[in-house]
Amino acid sequence: MSETQTEIMESQAQNASLQTRLDLLREALPYIQRFKGKTFVVKLSGKVTENKENLASLAEELALLHQVGIRVCVVHGGGKQLNDLASQMGVEQTIINGRRVTDDATLEMAKMIFAGKINTDILAALRHRGVEAVGLSGVDGNIVHAERRPPKEILNRETGERGLVDYGHVGDVVEINTRLLCVLLDQGYLPVVSSLGADSEGMVFNINADTIASEIAVRLEAEKLILLSDVDGIYLRVGDSASKLSRLTVGEAERLVTDGTATGGMIPKLQGITGLLRRGVRSAHIINGSRRNALLAEVFTDEGTGTMIVG
């Protein structure tokens, strides 16, 4: 092949790549116009924030949503980091049907990890991308008013045994106060909320981050709740990529729980999603936050990347 032919082929490849990028911008434009001024609640799991490179990539995607005029509120958990710290400290953890039993030592570690390390890491990554983000926990500004979860009789799906479970310092959301969040969003800030709440007497509780994100989404009348985890979406058969569901209705999602298709942590996730969709949030999305550009592709392209659940 001559040098001229090589140059021609390289030029054609560059033109094709440029054309692809321009086509993507054209595809994104109607979505940018549609969602400008709307509110997205984006929940980050601990697994997608523990890697610095992945967190930096996510911050870049969140910054783009913010820059095109979408009001973004981030809620994060940190179960993976909490498990790691508990292992280092020799504190045994008990998780039943995807829910953590939070004893005294676990609560202290949760406060350190959630409202401390993870929250600060997210803020730092967003600051690097020029976003004015504000770190909060559900205790700040009385955002999450909660009460201690009473002991419940539970069927342990792993052991098949039924028994009374005391979840310790785990809270159930009583009310969400969005006044502080609205002030921040109205002034162009991006709130980052960790998954803690408190009761009227100042008792702090560990609360499922999906639940907090869902309740905040309802109160903010959000356009979307986007859950970023380490899975590509919802699968009918675990490990079978061909069984991924791109779109579900509320009824179909509820059946995945009742017929046993959903397992582990996916159960409370789906239960939270179906509840919020029946209360006004327009759509919920489960996507893989470990995949580069998955968030942007889910929001700004026709095909998306994960599972979208609609009312």
Question: Domains of the chain: which residue ranges?
Answer: 37-310
Whole-number pLDDT of residue 5: 57
DSSP state, residue 230: S
Mean pLDDT computed over 176-185: 98
| Res. 62: pLDDT tops 60 | yes
SS3 category, 132:
coil
Strands (E), 131-231: 133-137, 144-148, 152-155, 162-165, 171-176, 190-194, 196-198, 204-206, 224-229
What are the beta bridge partners of residue 145? 175, 198
What is the rounded distance in angstroms from the CA atom of residue 272 to the CA atom of residue 268? 6
DSSP string, 246-285: SEEEHHHHHHHHHTT-S-TTHHHHHHHHHHHHTTT--EEE
SS3 category, 245:
strand
| Res. 70: pLDDT tops 90 | yes
> N- to C-terminal Cα distance for the chain?
58
Whole-number pLDDT of residue 289: 92
Whole-number pLDDT of residue 275: 84
User: Element (H or E) spanning 182, and its range?
Assistant: helix 179-186
SS3 category, 211:
helix
Lowest average pLDDT, out of 62-71, 124-133, 277-286, goes to 277-286
% of the chain exceeding 70 in pLDDT: 92
Average pLDDT, the chain: 89
Closest CA to 68 of 303, 310, 299: 299
- CATH code matching the domain that covers 37-310, chosen among 3.40.50.11810, 3.40.1160.10, 2.30.42.10, 3.60.20.10: 3.40.1160.10
